[in-house]
Every structure is written in C-alpha cells, then in structure tokens.
Amino acid sequence: MTMGAHDMHGEVMANRSTTEELLLGLASGRIRIVDLTAPLHEKTPIIRLPPERGQPWPFSRELISRYDDKGPHVYWNNIKMCEHTGTHFDAPIHWLTGRDFDDVSQVPVQRLVAPAIVIDLTEEAGNPSFLLERRHVERWCEQHGPLPDGAWLLYRTGWSRHGHDTDEFLNDGVTPGVHPQCAQWLAEQTAILGIGVETVGTDAGQAGSFDPAYPCHWYFHGANKYGLTQLRNLALLPPRGTMLIVAPLPIVGGSGSPARVMAIFESETP
C-alpha cells in the first residue's frame, strides 16, 4: 500500500510505502516510542501469596564471567525468575478458565501488535481500594468514541509511582483493580484484546476475596484474552491512537512471560 506524501511546500513527493512513512515519522519525532516496561532487577516487586500457596520467584542472577578467569572477553549472567515477575504478559492458559487456550508461545504475533486505549482513573484510584466499573468505561466512550476492536484497555491508576518499593507497591494487599461485573462485561461483551494495569497483577490486591476470586484472570483468560502488568508511563499516552508492541518470550508451555512493552503514537506537538 502506498500513500501520496507531501513535502513542506505541499508538493506531492514520490509515493512512499506506509512503512516508509512510519520510519520518517519516527526519524522526525512526529511519531514517538515510549517504553512502558518497569526495570527488571533483584528488587522488582513481585506478588505475595498466602504462605500455604506456591510462591513465585523474584528476579535473581548469578555471574558467569566478567572479563576474568571464567571468561576473559565476556560478561554474562544466568538469570532466574517467575514467568510473572515484573512487567509481564499473562497468557490465557495462566488460569483454570483458559486452560484450553494458548500458552505464551502459541499467542499469535499478530495479536502482540495491537491498538491501545488509555482510561485515566488516577484521581479515583487515589483511594487504593478503588475498582473500575462499567460506567467509567462508558464515560470514556462518550468522550472518545467506541472501544476499538482488538485493542488493549490500559487502565491508568498512577500506581506505578509506588513501583520503586515492594512494600509500598503491594500496600498490604490493597491496590486498585476491576470490579467483577466490569471484568465480566469487558471480557465477554466487548471486543477488547486484554487489560493492562500499573499494579503487580491485573486484579485488585484484595481480589482473592472477590466472587469469583481474581475476576480479571477468571473472565479474561476464560474469553481467550490477555493481561499485562506493572506498566509505567501511561501518563504519556493519548486516550486513543496508540499502537502497542508487546514482546513476551515464547516459553513453550509457559503461562506468561516477562515482556518488553512499547507504545508508538503520534505526538500532539512535533
């Protein structure tokens, strides 16, 4: 596909492909790329479960060599972590309701490059037990139009500001989330691809006591949809018009993976 491009004097220039237009936009700064990924290190926050449950591993590393006897020319490490450590992707198979759907290696790459919309509830989520409801999404739609098919719903709460400290980030198990009825509606009645959040998991910290427990996991994965967690920099994104590139590792049989998440969008002021 080609489009007629115009130079700064309005003259039609040689036809460029859409890909060339994108690259020119990136080079000129008219199109921006923002990293939504939290840095990954030994103190990256990770979910805490009741002690009788299995526990996820935090990120850790062991030096192989660093320009020394073990490897005079090479610096590298072995690493160890949970599939759900740091900014990560939840595959449908992560939950009982999605057990017959894709593992993380089976998710089509065409679904990992997708539009994204941002719903800003930073003010409401000043209350850490705040839950997203259907009316908040409908209010967004009144202002910005219908939810685009196949788009990520990025739920901005401002919670990433606590991401430097695990205790503060987990807040004794009380963090903003999604009301069960809203999770069911989004998963089953809308065409969104999945939900992305700033918190340690897609569900509220207190969602173990909801009915059903962990409703985002229950309904989204049961509908073959995805989750994204511990996102940062959502404040930089427009409400709609972002393209998201989500890059989990193709762990065969994996329930999820740490992921690099990049947002591409047109800047308002070039």
In the complex, what is the shortest distance from the CB of residue 84 to Mn ion, in angstroms, rounded to a whole number? 4
CB neighbours of 257 closer than 8 A, spacing ≥ 6?
Answer: 83, 88, 89, 91, 104, 248, 249, 250, 251
In the complex, what is the shortest distance from the CB of residue 137 to Mn ion, in angstroms, rounded to a whole number? 22
Site residues, Mn ion (CB under 5 A):
84, 90
Nearer to Mn ion, 31 or 82 (CB): 82
Comparing every residue's Cβ against Mn ion, the nearest one is 84
Q: Is 17 helix (H, G, I), strand (E, B) or coil?
A: strand
Count of C-beta atoms within a 10 Å radius of residue 41: 11
Nearer to Mn ion, 128 or 254 (CB): 254
In the complex, what is the shortest distance from the CB of residue 83 to Mn ion, in angstroms, rounded to a whole number? 8
Nearer to Mn ion, 84 or 225 (CB): 84
From 74, 73, 72, 76, select the one nearest 62 (Cα to Cα).
76
In the complex, what is the shortest distance from the CB of residue 82 to Mn ion, in angstroms, rounded to a whole number? 9
Nearer to Mn ion, 140 or 201 (CB): 201
Q: Distance between CA atoms of 95 and 202, rounded to whole angstroms?
A: 12
> Where does 6-112 show beta strands of DSSP type E?
16-17, 31-35, 60-68, 71-80, 88-90
Task: Please identify which of the residues 88, 94, 217, 221 carries the catalytic annotation.
Answer: 94
CB burial of residue 124 (10 Å; 0-12, 13-18, 19+): middle
Please say if 144 is a catalytic residue. Answer: no
Catalytic residues: 94
